[in-house]
Amino acid sequence: MPTKSDPPPGATVHSTRHGPVTLVTLARPRRRNAVDPSTARALYHAMLAFEADADARVAVLAGSGDAFCAGFDLACVADGSAEQWLEQLHFGERGEPPLGPMGPTRLRLSKPVIAAIAGPAVAGGMELALWCDLRVMAEDAWMGVLCRRWGVPLIDGGTVRLPRLVGAGRALDLILTGRRIDAAESLAMGLCERVVPPGNAVAAALALAESLAGAPQLCLRGDRDSARYGAFPDEMAALQAEFHAGLDALRSEATAGAQRFIAGAGRHGAPQEESS
């Protein structure tokens, strides 16, 4: 039986233990689980707690309601409050684990994390999924760099991790066009590893996590670490370069784009005309 401690009222991240598996759930369904600064920090601490728990072997990251994650909450970009959050981010130079815009996306955990994707995983939500080791998608789920249309850059590992998963050409197609990509195409190009019937993403991810938790852990973690990081010892340097390259856009084009989005343009991936 799953076990959990009751989250405080209004908590936007919930953690539940299923034996050796920790299910971490984004809980802002009315915002399609878009991440604001407080949610990012809560998700960061949830993943650090998973890492520190000796009895937890695998984590599953999911979203509540009908979305995995719609990215960073553009309301915070539109009103300028994201700037204060940017000043709190770091790459580990402050003597604590590195903190990214979406929370845990600069962490290098020693244990696997599986994304259970239902509905959209877009913009920063797609970057969260890319940070995970494996991705399980429902047939009606989808991804995309939808932030392209709003002038919001990828500053949370998207330009670093996506080419490593699907190759440079496919990554550039997704990054430059910002187009929507469904589960079947995601599976075909290697962007996800499992596609399951609608409504089954979390159950399938938990089952996969339980199978990983049953393997010899020292061997599994060593091979995982070598496969993920062995060929790319400078991943943190790449993440830093991506972040700093995107800051000018985030502070200019992104603010205007976020304001258009908040005003109602281009919701749910609908096309929108570019301003002249």
Task: Please say if the pLDDT value at position 255 is more than 80.
Answer: no
Q: Which of 117-121, 166-170, 228-232 has the lowest mean pLDDT?
A: 228-232
What pLDDT score was predicted for residue 273? Answer: 46
Q: In what order do the strands lie in the sheet with 180-182?
A: 120-122, 142-144, 180-182
* pLDDT tens track for 63-86: 999 999 999 998 998 888 889 999
pLDDT confidence of 267, banded at 50, 70, 90? low
Q: How many residues does the chain have?
A: 276
Mean pLDDT of 159-179: 96
* DSSP secondary structure, 131-150, as one string: HSSEEEEETT-EEE-GGGGG
> 69 has which bridge partners?
121
Decide if pLDDT at 276 tops 50.
Answer: no
Sign of the Cα pseudo-torsion (81, 84, 90, 94, in order): negative
Spell out the residues 6+ positions from residue 97 whose beta carbon is closer than 8 angstroms to its own.
44, 48, 106, 107
Looking at residue 254, its pLDDT comes to 73
Global confidence as pTM: 0.87
**pLDDT at residue number 78:** 86
pLDDT, one tens digit per residue, over 139-167 is 999 999 998 988 889 999 999 999 999 99
Query: Six-digit token pair at 161?
Result: 């991790």
Q: Which of 70, 244, 75, 76 shows the shortest CA–CA distance to 146? A: 70
In the prediction, which pLDDT does 5 show?
53
Question: Residue 136 — pLDDT band, cuts 50, 70, 90?
Answer: very high
Computed over every residue of the chain, the mean pLDDT equals 90
**DSSP letter string, 56-120:** --EEEEEESTT-SB--B-HHHHHTSTHHHHHTT-BSSTTSS--BBTTBSTT---SS-EEEEE-SE
Rounded Cα distance between 199 and 139, Å, is 9
Looking at per-residue pLDDT, the higher value among 102 and 270 belongs to 102
